[in-house]
Amino acid sequence: MTMKTKTAIASRRGFTIVELLVVMAISAMLAGIAITYSNISKNQIALSVEASKIGGTLYRTKDLAIATYNAPARPGSTKTCGYGMLIDSKNNNYSIFAFRPDQSKAAYSSTDLTKFCPSEAAVLAAGLTITGNNAEVTSTSPGTWHVPVTNNIKLYRSTGSDNLGVVLFYPPDPDALLSNGNAASATVTFLNPGETLHAYLAVPDGAPTTSVTVNPAGQIEF
């Protein structure tokens, strides 16, 4: 065997065990990083989708409220004086509602609610009755009531006081009357003066997170 042949054979020797282990470790590490970033990307997309759904529904609710201004009441019925949304973090859903004020409330005693809507100041003082015989919240349609948050995303309440529980868009502007109370409660009070509130969304393990924001002027951000 010539010297050239021996050199060629020697140059074609295989990898050592150490080299193979190093390559396998690097491959495993890169695969783990790729999977991690893939999951983060999926979570971010899911959060964006659900935030967009809630934000879009808020805009729809606001449009409905504007349309009620100067609209006549149905004969023998209380006027629809606005539209709002319940953000129910306990049951992970949200709902559009029509607001029909309760004539028995002292704040509305001087207003004929079959013809007129109470002042915004009166609504702020009276709060909102969500459930019970005198409920002021009425479902607009089955498709907009208890709409579930999907894609494995959860509504949650932060430890602060800036959680959005209820928003009522009150025409003509319409202003947003906001409550940080729990939408699953029987009644809630509105913040006066109002402040910007957030509907918080998160993946099950808590990160990443995002929010949908509403301020007293009725501006919506997501």
Q: What is the pTM of this model?
A: 0.81
**Mean pLDDT over residues 10-16, rounded?**
59
122-145 residue pLDDT tens: 999 999 999 998 999 999 988 999
Of 86, 60, 53, give the one whose Cα is nearest residue 153. Answer: 53
* Domain definitions of the chain by residue range: 16-221
71-120 residue pLDDT tens: 777 776 788 999 999 999 999 999 999 999 999 999 998 888 888 899 99
CA distance 190 to 179: 5
Contact indicator for 190, 123 with CB cutoff of 8 Å: yes
DSSP H helices, the chain, are 3-11, 17-68, 120-126
Q: How many CA atoms lie within 13 A of 196 on its CB side?
A: 9
CA distance 145 to 61: 12
Strands 154-156 and 147-148 come out as: unpaired
C-alpha distances out from residue 184 to 60, 65, 91, 166, Å: 22, 22, 8, 10
42-80 residue pLDDT tens: 888 999 999 999 999 999 999 999 998 877 777 767 889
pLDDT level of residue 194 (50, 70, 90 thresholds): confident
Q: Does residue 32 carry a pLDDT above 90?
A: no
